[in-house]
Amino acid sequence: MAFGSGFRSTDRAEPCKKRSHRCKAVELHNLLAIRFALNELRKYLKNKQREISKANELLDKFRGLNLRQKSLIYHSIQHPDNIYTIEAHKNTHGIAYDTARKDLIALAIKGFFEIEKEGKRLLLFLPTGKAIEKLRNK
């Protein structure tokens, strides 16, 4: 294949055709790296599944929480520095503004969030940091 002046086909750009020892070693290394990465991914996913399962067990003890509220509590445990708004909750779950507002206010009443007002209309919901204790003590 002619590329014109200044361009040459290199051995690196072409696949290993002769199956040299170097090519086999590189392929083996790549396969081992992929296997290692897949094993690490499996471990990570198992840990996440256990974590979610434990959280669900704790959240199931709280009667009257809908799936959106459980999801929000779980997220707030993982991200305690996040600030939640009605608008963000509405957009995340594709629900009406009033439904999102009721979800968040109910969680604030139950002690999972504190409400702060910013401006005339914007309500900020901050995790209290006590969600785990509240769930365990239920």
Mean pLDDT of 122-130: 78
CB 85 within 8 A of CB 121: no
Strands (E), the chain: 84-85, 113-118, 122-127
CB 123 within 8 A of CB 84: no
- Note if the pTM is more than 0.75: no
Question: Which residue(s) pair with 116 in the sheet?
Answer: 124
Render pLDDT for 9-28 as a digit per residue (tens, 0 to 9).
454 545 556 667 788 888 99
Mean pLDDT of 84-98: 95
CB half-sphere exposure, 82, CA atoms < 13 A: 14
Mean pLDDT of 20-44: 92
Instruction: Collect all residues with Cβ–Cβ distance below 8 Å to 68 and sequence separation of at least 6.
Output: 89, 93, 95, 103
Helix and strand numbers (H, E) in the chain are 5, 3
